[in-house]
Amino acid sequence: MPTTKNAADPRDRLIFALDVPDATAARRMAEELGDAVTFYKVGLELMAAGGYFELVDWLLARNKRVFADLKLFDVPATVSRAISLLAKRGITFATIHGNQGIMEAAAAAKGDLKILAVTVLTSLDRGDLTDLGFQCDVEALVLSRARRALEAGCDGVVASGLELPAMRRAIDGRLLVVTPGIRPVENRPTDDQKRVVTVEQAFGDGADYIVVGRPIRDAQQPRAAAEAIQQTIAGLFPS
């Protein structure tokens, strides 16, 4: 049985990655999904497409929760000001990258917004980390960044399900863990996500929330795919 208790409503534990070309497509997808999805991740693709905050406001007006996955990374003062502005918009989560100073600045400015520090992107493996100059293994780097995030005052981290067991053993249970790279079915050869887990594995190992994109978006019936995941979650977290 999962041990995580951080989400009040089990249906909120599914975050749909709204990775579509523009705001029009995003609204169309959200309308198709209806009440099968209550929580949306809105990221860089939609930011670059334009109409980002209009879309965020549109989702919030429909009682949806929003995860602004912008992975802010700049000098601490700039990140602080950006976070303080995001905090005024009714967004639930926002992501940051960076060192201790950046994380501390974001945490100090967050208000009711929950700050998630990115540990290691799920598209990276050991070979990629070597290319980037990291000599430690993936798990050691994830645990180090998670500890530093908690010390800095962040609310949680974004981390692969593969590192969840070690993280829950080593890190305070107060830390929220949002896990992307969820694949309810076998990973496709063309998928750029390398470190993936199933819904059951992620929650069983201690995730608080999961982020699912392509398995819903690219399904023949996206709403049915989302509802199938919600049924799995309901079985893991009976009310």
Please identify which residue in the block is written with the tokens 């975050």. 15
The one catalytic residue in 64, 71, 88, 114 is: 71
Please give the span between the terminal C-alpha atoms of the chain, in angstroms, as a whole number. Answer: 13
Q: How far apart are CA 211 and CA 178, in angstroms?
A: 7
User: Is 88 among the residues known to form the active site?
Assistant: no
Q: Which two tokens stand for residue 89?
A: 């918009």
Q: How far apart are CA 121 and CA 107, in angstroms?
A: 21
Q: At what angle do helices 52-61 and 23-33 cross, to 10 degrees?
A: 20
Q: How far apart are CA 4 and CA 177, in angstroms?
A: 9
Q: How far apart are CA 107 and CA 150, in angstroms?
A: 10
* Per-state percent for the chain, helix, strand, coil, to nearest 5: 50, 15, 35
Q: How far apart are CA 34 and CA 16, in angstroms?
A: 12
Residues labelled catalytic: 71
